[in-house]
Structure 1
Amino acid sequence: MVNSLNERNFSGLGNYQRGAALLVSLVILLVLTVLALSSMQGTSLQERMVSSQRDAQIALEGAEFALQEAETVLSGGTLPTFQPSNGFYDEDDPAPVAVLDHATWAAPSGGGHGNGTRQAPMPKDEDGNDLLAANPRYFIKATPATGAASSAGFGLGVGAAGDSMQQSGLSGTVYRVVAFSSGASGQAGRAIEAYVVRAD
């Protein structure tokens, strides 16, 4: 009799312990699930950040590609006629100001030059695939002549560039070039600005 009573007590205690172990296991499983979800969200965020950074770098390289195209145009034998509609601004023509606005760089229907900017060639990879969502673009503005009263404020703190050239014994015309690319996604706008001297 005593033995059967003790057996019942022990078997009831075992059932109770098995229920507690199940509850603890479920709590641990819930904690692990929350940790895994949090880790996945962090990984996803880091992946988006890296992708955005890569696209920004591609956009910067696309803008540099357009800048090289502008330098090639300026180093040619003869310059095209300066018309603001085609991206060539004379010193008296107001150039675009919102250089990071995608609307400033919108290509005319059918592509090519127009809408106040010029189209650079599309950079391609070794298989001939386009590297950018759209052709990089640029515009060129002639800066005020040497000694001009307005030469003190035409760019990023490099006013009177012509005067500096004259003092150093150089002769030529200084052109402001602004180039833009929207990157591989079309969303990462990057603009760069440079001053190019064309020797007389």
Structure 2
Amino acid sequence: MSQLITPKSRYELPKRQQGAALLVSLVILLVLTVLALSSMQGTSTQERMVSAQRDAQIALEGAEAALLAAEAELSGGTLPTFNANEGLYDDATAAPTDLLNPQTWETPSGGGHGNGTREAPMPQVDGDNMLAERPRYLIKETPATGSATNSGFGLGIGGVADGVQQSTSNGRVFRVVAYSSGASGEAGRAVEAYVIRAQ
């Protein structure tokens, strides 16, 4: 008896696949997604850091603009009347000490001078306000030369004011502190300077 041998049909179904290629593809896709998310998070963090640094620089420039306004006020023809409520402290009145606290520099409800500080003009670029709010400053007249209260008035180091006033016996020395909260209103920066007004 002869057996008939037939060639295998080309249409025979292949062996059932186990899905290994799909599994490997999904794992690779998962790894790529995690890498992309990590990269986006790093970029977002760097962008926030750069934005905060820029805002701090703008706040510093705003504080320096307020310092210039105070210097202009002190170099005018006549000195303003020293009234602590309006940010002008004579040598016997204590000035604020918490200078980086935003509450120290709060603008009065009607704006202008008040709450122990003075308002400076708003810096502008191409007609747009540079800051969230106007920068502010205060001026403190230093005690007379040789005064017991003259050492370390606000600088935290003794004898500085004595040295300044001894070298300027024909003038008056004023301590100026200026503050700005930056473009966001949250990047407070303060600068301090001493202005000598000739008698």
The two structures have a TM-score, normalised by structure 2, of 0.90
Listed as ranges, the gaps of 5+ residues in structure 2 are none
2-structure distance, mates of 1:112, 1:120:
8
Give the equivalent residue in structure 1 for 2:176.
177
| Correspondence list, 1:133-172, <5 A | 133-156=132-155, 157=157, 159-166=159-166, 168=167, 171-172=170-171
1:75 aligns with 2:75: yes
1:12 aligns with 2:15: yes
| Correspondence list, 1:1-200, <5 A | 4=8, 11-12=14-15, 15-16=17-18, 19-126=19-126, 128-156=127-155, 157=157, 159-166=159-166, 168=167, 171-200=170-199
Which of the pair is proportionally richer in helix? Answer: 1
Code of the residue aligned with 1:60 in structure 2: it is L
SS in 2 for 1:147: coil
2-structure distance, mates of 1:140, 1:33:
57
1:144-164 Cα distance to aligned partner (Å, 9 max, x none): 111112211213136353444
Distance 1:133 1:2, change over 3 A: farther
Which structure has the bigger radius of gyration? 2
Q: Is contact 1:146-1:160 (8 Å) kept?
A: no
Runs of 4+ residues over 3 Å off in structure 1: 1-5, 162-165
Code of the residue aligned with 1:179 in structure 2: it is A
2-structure distance, mates of 1:116, 1:44:
40
Code of the residue aligned with 1:12 in structure 2: it is K
Code of the residue aligned with 1:49 in structure 2: it is M
2-structure distance, mates of 1:2, 1:44:
68
Distance 1:21 1:78, change over 3 A: same
Distance 1:2 1:186, change over 3 A: farther
Code of the residue aligned with 1:79 in structure 2: it is L
Q: CA RMSD in A?
A: 2.1
Q: Is contact 1:143-1:175 (8 Å) kept?
A: yes
Identity %: 64
2-structure distance, mates of 1:2, 1:147:
122
Listed as ranges, the gaps of 5+ residues in structure 1 are none
Distance 1:165 1:98, change over 3 A: closer
SS in 2 for 1:141: strand
The two structures have a TM-score, normalised by structure 1, of 0.89
